């Protein structure tokens, strides 16, 4: 079954276009292409991910991609805690400096 090629979304970034091309062929990707898709997917803008989810041609493949590789796409809890601790520490230091 051949996949139908569609024009890229106007204004979509190059990474989004690359992700769409790779998703259109998923799961028939070689190891390098799969690694590339896993590497660029977390960096895509949320709106572009939403458009892919709503796209009839990509939504099933995107669901399969998340099912198969979703654990590799999530942000680590260590990074999330670091992103939370740094602003809290900066605010605490600023408050201490202002009051002290």
- Summarised one tens digit per residue, pLDDT across range 28-85 is 999 999 999 999 988 888 899 899 999 988 989 999 998 998 888 766 566 667 778 8
- Structural domain of residue 63, as residue ranges? 14-74
Asked whether residue 29 is domain-assigned, the answer is yes
Asked whether residue 69 is domain-assigned, the answer is yes
Q: How far is CA 36 from CA 8, 31, 56, 57, in A?
A: 19, 9, 23, 20
Instruction: Count the domains in the chain.
Output: 1
Global pTM value: 0.63
Asked whether residue 22 is domain-assigned, the answer is yes
């Amino acid at each position: 079954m051949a996949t139908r090629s569609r024009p890229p979304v106007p204004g979509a970034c190059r990474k989004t276009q690359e992700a769409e091309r790779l998703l259109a062929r998923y799961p028939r990707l070689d190891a390098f292409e799969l690694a590339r898709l896993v590497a660029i997917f977390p960096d895509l803008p949320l709106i572009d991910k939403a458009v892919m989810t709503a796209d009839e041609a990509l939504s099933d493949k995107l669901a399969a991609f998340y099912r198969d590789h979703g654990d590799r796409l999530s942000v680590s809890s260590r990074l999330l805690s670091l992103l939370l601790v740094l602003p809290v520490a900066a605010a605490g230091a600023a408050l201490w400096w202002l009051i002290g």
